[in-house]
């Protein structure tokens, strides 16, 4: 576990459920979810998307089950899927029962749309008999009219009350394998609703800002809500709801958990300086080129691209690998230690080559294989740049001399 995770609020331990092979809640890792955008009846197209989602970090995938053809498609999709499949149900109890018959590993019911108590209890009973969990998926945009009127709108209290009423129906038939979401498109409402839900229920919570919209705004809204709650120890599984290729949802979810240190890094984490007047290269271009080239390797590594050799290696000494530009050359470093100096036009190539070697040989072996004269070359470059560009942007030395002069007089 990354040290970052130790600085977060302790995670609330909830009742653990199993969505197929994926544990949700308790001390299980926080899982990432997404939803297919294909017609579920298109079995091959849906499976292709499911595999893409799984490859990009999704642990669980949801598919709509809105008609008979979709239910029949699920029967073919479930046994061929690399991850558990949850059927999304809105209005028709028959579709929930058909999805269970198709073998799905989870259901999502919208209590604002499927409203008849006897139908809700029937689905819960069937799910209980099959060992299939259900998510109570409350959405601010589809609250039951009576609850909306009672609370004067889609307030956090209204969202939690909707989940509580649905849960009461489940409890009547002794069904407890439940996770809960209380989503809203308003980040502030969503955060408040999940805080209240965390205080109210001991069931696992599925985090998300619904209808967040396209990139980049949707990503910002989703991160603002989900990250806030994760930092407070709230949440057991999550989904970004983006108006984009769902692969973007899976990537975002996985990367957010890796940033927090809540999941082990599976791929590239590229950090780069924002550039400044000292930068000797186009940092944005080098970083983007490195992102593309290194991202294709699928190596769990943190790489730094720094525009200046003066502070670069020191500022990014925590990175597994990095490069800092100066005097038409790049200083390649591992954990802050210079291992090689390369021509400017070979910087990205050098990063890719060294990343492969680190993956194959390990950090210690690559440090042992460093060029013995690399640090001296790097020091000479730094000295030249300091002479040319200065290391005293605030003219601190002159100011200090004036302060001393005043104190002496």
How many angstroms separate the CA atoms of 242 and 216, rounded? 9
Would you call the peptide bond into 216 cis, given omega within 30 degrees of 0 as the criterion?
yes
| 51 within domain boundaries | yes
Q: Are residues 94 and 218 in the same domain?
A: yes
Q: Are residues 13 and 130 in the same domain?
A: yes
CA-based nearest residue to 190, from 136, 151, 219, 229 = 229
The answer to whether the CB of 330 falls within 8 A of the CB of 313 is no
Residue 88 backbone dihedrals phi, psi, to 5 degrees:
-95, 120
How many angstroms separate the CA atoms of 144 and 124, rounded? 19
Strands laid side by side in the 237-238 sheet? 178-183, 134-139, 106-109, 85-89, 60-64, 31-35, 237-238, 206-207
Residue 124 backbone dihedrals phi, psi, to 5 degrees:
-60, -40
The predicted structure's pLDDT at residue 394: 46
Q: What is the mean pLDDT of each run of 10 residues along the chain (409 residues)?
A: 65 97 98 98 98 96 97 98 97 96 98 93 98 97 95 98 97 98 98 98 98 96 98 98 97 95 90 75 89 91 85 78 86 93 94 96 95 89 69 59 79
Which tokens sit at 61?
Answer: 């995938």
The predicted structure's pLDDT at residue 377: 87
The predicted structure's pLDDT at residue 202: 97
| 407 within domain boundaries | no
Query: Domain containing 352 — which CATH number?
Result: 3.30.413.10
Beta bridge partners of 268: none
Domain that holds residue 327: 269-389
Q: Are residues 251 and 275 in the same domain?
A: no
Other Cβ atoms closer than 10 A to 400: 10
- The domain total for the chain is 2
How many angstroms separate the CA atoms of 351 and 348, rounded? 5
Q: Could you report the per-residue pLDDT of 66-80, keeping only the tens digit for each?
A: 999 999 999 999 999
Q: Are residues 91 and 128 in the same domain?
A: yes
How many angstroms separate the CA atoms of 41 and 60, rounded? 19
The predicted structure's pLDDT at residue 383: 80
Q: Are residues 359 and 304 in the same domain?
A: yes
The predicted structure's pLDDT at residue 397: 64
The predicted structure's pLDDT at residue 3: 45
Q: Could you report the per-residue pLDDT of 96-125, keeping only the tens digit for each?
A: 999 999 999 999 999 988 889 999 999 999
Burial (0-12, 13-18, 19+ Cβ within 10 Å), 269: middle
| 17 within domain boundaries | yes
The predicted structure's pLDDT at residue 388: 63
The predicted structure's pLDDT at residue 334: 95
> How is residue 242 annotated by DSSP?
B
Beta bridge partners of 59: none
Q: Are residues 207 and 279 in the same domain?
A: no
The predicted structure's pLDDT at residue 393: 44
């Amino acid at each position: 576990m990354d040290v970052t995770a130790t600085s977060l609020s302790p995670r609330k331990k909830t009742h653990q459920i199993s969505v197929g092979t994926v544990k949700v809640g308790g001390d299980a890792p926080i899982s990432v979810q997404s939803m297919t955008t294909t017609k579920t009846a298109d079995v091959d197209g849906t499976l292709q998307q499911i595999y893409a989602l799984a490859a990009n970090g999704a642990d669980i995938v949801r598919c709509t089950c809105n008609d008979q053809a979709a239910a029949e498609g699920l029967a073919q999709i479930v046994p061929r899927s690399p991850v558990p499949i949850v059927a999304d149900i809105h209005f028709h109890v028959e579709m929930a029962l058909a999805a269970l018959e198709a073998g799905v590993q989870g259901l999502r019911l919208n209590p604002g749309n499927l409203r008849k108590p006897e139908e809700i209890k029937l689905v819960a009973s069937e799910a209980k008999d099959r060992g299939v969990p259900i998510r109570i998926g409350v959405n601010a945009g589809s609250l039951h009219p009576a609850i909306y009127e009672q609370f004067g709108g889609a307030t956090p209290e209204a969202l939690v009350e909707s989940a509580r009423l649905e849960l009461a129906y489940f409890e009547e038939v002794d069904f407890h394998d439940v996770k809960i979401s209380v989503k809203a498109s308003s980040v502030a409402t969503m955060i408040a609703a999940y805080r209240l839900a965390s205080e109210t229920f001991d069931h696992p919570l599925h985090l998300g800002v619904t209808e967040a919209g396209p990139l980049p705004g949707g990503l910002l809204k989703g991160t603002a809500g989900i990250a806030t709650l994760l930092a407070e120890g709230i949440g057991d599984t999550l989904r970004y709801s983006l108006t984009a290729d769902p692969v973007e949802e899976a990537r975002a979810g996985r990367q957010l958990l890796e940033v927090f240190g809540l999941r082990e890094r599976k791929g590239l984490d590229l950090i780069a300086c924002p550039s400044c007047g000292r930068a000797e290269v186009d940092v944005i271009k080098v970083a983007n080129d490195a992102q593309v080239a290194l991202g294709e390797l699928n190596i769990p590594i943190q790489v730094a691209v720094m525009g200046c050799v003066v502070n670069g290696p020191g500022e990014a000494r925590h990175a597994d690998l990095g490069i800092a530009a100066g005097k038409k050359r790049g200083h390649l470093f591992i954990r802050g230690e210079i291992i090689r100096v390369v021509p400017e036009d070979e910087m990205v190539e050098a990063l890719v080559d060294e990343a492969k070697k680190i993956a194959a040989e390990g950090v210690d072996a690559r440090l042992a294989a460093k060029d013995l004269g690399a640090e001296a070359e790097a020091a000479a470059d730094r000295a030249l740049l300091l002479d040319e560009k200065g290391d005293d942007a605030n003219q601190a030395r002159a100011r200090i001399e004036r302060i001393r002069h005043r104190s002496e007089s």
